[in-house]
A and B are shown apart, each in its own frame.
Chain A
Amino acid sequence: MNREELERLYKELIIPESKAPYHFEKKDGDNVLAYNPVCGDKFRIFTEGEIHFHGHGCALSKASGSLLMRQLEQRNAEEAKEMIRQFVAAVKSGTPESLNNDSLSTLVALKNYDGREDCILLTWNAMLNYLETK
């Protein structure tokens, strides 16, 4: 990937998704903290009723959180765990082709370009930890 390709992916996916994140709203009730103290990105995932998230971070972490919200919809806890594990494995191994989803594959491609795994996985790891320990 070169700079032009990177900027195209930001234009097509990351910027629009981060400017209008899906289910981005502060809610009452139980929530999960997704926080990276190294950079300060901080989101809360609200788990009561319809899932939402809210907080602040770079465009990549916010867009990734938004895509997580989309993916969690219509899935029960077991399905959600499996889906998140597959995505985390794809990001860590850098294999976008293992995912049958263009947007998620783009996140993996971005990680392969500049290694921003922590930004991409911030909300995903927090949600997986919540699902595995609740």
Chain B
Amino acid sequence: MIESVGEKVSSYRQFPFSLDAGTPNVQGVLGLGAAVDFLTQLDRAAARSHVARLTSKFAQGVKSIAEVRLLPFFDEESGIVSFNVGDIHAHDVAGFLNRDNIAIRAGMHCTQPLLDDLNLEATARVSFSIYNTEDEVDRLISSLQKLVAFWK
């Protein structure tokens, strides 16, 4: 940020304010503060347990769908599960679920060398968090069942 601007000479505020260009990211700072307040008031153990329960419910639930292959390494507390559905490309899985208002990630997840090593082109990836519900896990499993039936 400048201190003053002249025709030939300008001066900047003292470091580190000299590096602060333009309007400060006020909403970002306030948003981060609100997020920190929200997270600190959570019961962290209960939050971890909730995410683990949803993840476990999903992993158990999709066992009934032969075409769904979970990548074997996932940590229930992380809430992140990568999977593929038969020979349906991950982007088609995501597109189909999207039409049921279910948002997941699909692709290489910025891990191209890992996927090459696993001999995979792409994966679908679901991430559960504290705001997800058991009913939503049921909806996801039901939508995957519909996808498998549709794609036959």
Question: Is residue A15 within 8 Å, beta carbon to beta carbon, of the partner chain?
Answer: yes
Binding site for B on A (CB under 8 A): 3, 7, 10-11, 15, 19, 39-40, 56-60, 62
Q: Are A7 and B150 in contact (CB under 8 A)?
A: yes
Q: Which of chain A's residues has its CB closest to B87's CB?
A: A19
Please report the C-alpha to C-alpha distance between residue A40 and residue B31 in the assembled complex, in whole angstroms.
Answer: 34
Give me 27 A-to-B residue pairs in the complex whose CB atoms sit less than 8 angstroms apart, sorted by A's number: A3-B99, A7-B150, A10-B150, A11-B150, A15-B151, A19-B87, A39-B91, A39-B107, A40-B107, A40-B108, A40-B112, A40-B121, A40-B122, A56-B89, A56-B121, A56-B122, A57-B89, A57-B91, A58-B89, A58-B91, A58-B92, A58-B95, A59-B88, A59-B89, A59-B92, A60-B92, A62-B89
Q: How many residues of B contact A (CB 8 A)?
A: 14
Please report the C-alpha to C-alpha distance between residue A61 and residue B88 in the assembled complex, in whole angstroms.
Answer: 13
Q: Which of chain A's residues has its CB closest to B121's CB?
A: A56
- When distances are taken between beta carbons in the complex, the residues of chain A under 8 Å from B121 are 40, 56
- When distances are taken between beta carbons in the complex, the residues of chain A under 8 Å from B122 are 40, 56
From residue A13, how far is it (CB to closest CB) to chain B in Å? 14
From residue A60, how far is it (CB to closest CB) to chain B in Å? 8
Please report the C-alpha to C-alpha distance between residue A40 and residue B99 in the assembled complex, in whole angstroms.
Answer: 22
Q: Which of chain B's residues has its CB closest to A15's CB?
A: B151
- When distances are taken between beta carbons in the complex, the residues of chain A under 8 Å from B150 are 7, 10-11
From residue A15, how far is it (CB to closest CB) to chain B in Å? 6
In the complex, besides A3-B99, A7-B150, A15-B151, 15 extra interface pairs with C-beta distance below 8 angstroms are A10-B150, A11-B150, A40-B108, A40-B121, A40-B122, A56-B89, A56-B121, A57-B89, A58-B91, A58-B92, A59-B88, A59-B89, A59-B92, A60-B92, A62-B89
Please report the C-alpha to C-alpha distance between residue A33 and residue B108 in the assembled complex, in whole angstroms.
Answer: 19
Please report the C-alpha to C-alpha distance between residue A11 and residue B152 in the assembled complex, in whole angstroms.
Answer: 9
- When distances are taken between beta carbons in the complex, the residues of chain A under 8 Å from B112 are 40
B residues 99-151 near A (Cβ < 8 Å) are 99, 107-108, 112, 121-122, 150-151
From residue A14, how far is it (CB to closest CB) to chain B in Å? 9
